[in-house]
A and B are shown apart, each in its own frame.
Chain A
Amino acid sequence: MDQGMSISQQILDSAAEWHVRLEGDAPDYDGFAAWLEADPLHRPAYDQVIALDILVDQHLASMADVVTLLPTPAPTAPSKPIAANDDMPMIPLWRRAGVAAAVAVLVGSASLLVSNPWSSRIEVETGRGESRVVQLADASNIALDGNSRITYADDNPRSIELAQGSAMFTVKHDAAHPFNVSAGAYQIHDLGTEFAVSRGHGHLTISVASGSVDITGPGMARLKALPGDRIDVAEEGGQARIERFKVDPDSVASWRNGRLIYDNIPLRLVVADINRYAPNRITVVPQHAERRFSGVLTIGDGSQLAPNLANLMDLPLDEQGRDARLGAGNMP
């Protein structure tokens, strides 16, 4: 970030201290205002805290990668000589992700083996353009978008697998029976809330409308998502890329109203969404993948999503048979 002037370490340190203090028990907002007023460099210094925030949100996985490697000392045995581990060499993310993925697979199949052999799995599926609401016995419900599939054991409807597509979960909180959604190797643990999960093409999105959820998966620390958080997980060459975006909680699962609502979301993620509806396979060329889109797309029968997006972004759309590339070819 170039602010045209350099900020002394001392000022940055006090910005850091104020930031932490404001998150504490008795935040002194008047004191903070006075600190900001005391020196014209204090405000840009505090802006750096926000810039750091943005950076951390954009790279949660790779941050977690670096700091989770230190083994957490067992709090009950503080006398154990574990300090030597502090200098432990770093293990690359892909190796840890690989191990975690292997463990997840083992656990997954093991739980299938030990689950009640007399229970049967219920499968609910929707076709393209179809939607359904599944009412569960505990008053929780699941709204299923088109082209989606969930399965669950009939004796455990609070453990849902999203096999494909998109679903909005409105969950009645029950501390004794946590509600879990699994999507591939990732688990979403609900803490009494409304949230949407979408899955497809190596890509997972979790958006929270109210309450909160915990997300766990290979290569990532447990991640808490709060209302207005949109967490995107993309598998890229054996690594998970995890990002957090801010969305309007009211726009979560807007597909229930036949619309897709975006505010400042990269095109690659918009394209991942519209692929759930489009009759053909849409990709965006790399040089435009990070461009941000804000706006509302009407789903309809799915065929106009890509042309409309191309039009709104002023990008060409190259349609060849079952493939359409956004940003490729010539403008019509």
Chain B
Amino acid sequence: MESHDQPAAAPSAGLKAHFDDCAASLLRLLSARLGNRTDAEDLLQELWLKLATTDARVVENGSPENNEINNPRAYLHRMALNLANDLVRERIRRRGREAAYSDVMVAEEGVVAVDPGPSPEQALGDKIELARVREALRQLPARAGEVFRRHRIEGQSHAQVAEAMRISRSAVEKHMATAMKYLLRALNNPDST
């Protein structure tokens, strides 16, 4: 990893103070999520640097779109978890490819890293996973399917889904959890369909 010695604007006193306050809890969350302390410390550093640019934007535009900034503690934890999930996402992608690729990675001049494409086996694996998830979607209870579509595919917030379907926020969460359970089971259990 490159050293972060570029002059980053220091986060404003507000968020920075909160960052210091919950650094231990952030590190715990990151360590638990990633399963190791080194990655967690790297991401904590990245979060601090990100904060500098976020704060610059906050100063520029008044406030970020979400109101989570009004709860800095939750905001920081959300940011940390997003960073960790992005890292996991990247690793899953890479692992999926490497597992099936016989090609080697190509790196050029530091700026360019090229990943080999999926092999026919990998493409088939993807197809099977997709078919399983599609089948699970088909079997979802109707309301869970609608909540999943609105929230996950159309990008509506829980609040918007609740309003559109005239149901409570907790009902939205319940339906969404049902949908996720169906889909996760389908993805993990080859015999489920």
Contact = CB atoms under 8 A, between A and B. Distances in A.
Interface of B: 25, 28-29, 32-33, 35, 65, 74, 77-78, 81, 85-86, 88-89, 92-93, 96, 99, 106, 108, 111-118, 123, 126, 129-130, 133-134, 137-138, 140, 142, 145-146, 148-149, 152-156, 158, 164-166, 169, 173, 176-177, 180-181, 183-185, 187-189
Interface string A60-94: 10111011101010010010000100100010000
A294 B118 CA distance: 16
B155 A223 contact: yes
Contact of A43 (B33, B142, B173, B181): B33
A46 to B, nearest CB: 7
A50 B88 contact: yes
A67 B137 contact: yes
B117 A292 contact: yes
A305 B7 CA distance: 34
Interface residues of A, number: 77
B184 A314 contact: no
Contacts of B29: 29-30, 32-33
Interface stretch (A16-24, A130-138, A179-187, A316-324): A16-24
Contacts of B177: 16-17, 19-20
A283 to B, nearest CB: 15
B32 A52 contact: no
Contacts of A1: 92, 96, 187
A95 interface: no
A54 B114 contact: no
A288 B115 CA distance: 11
B130 A62 contact: yes
A235 interface: no
Given A19-B180, A33-B32, A313-B114, A63 B185 contact: no
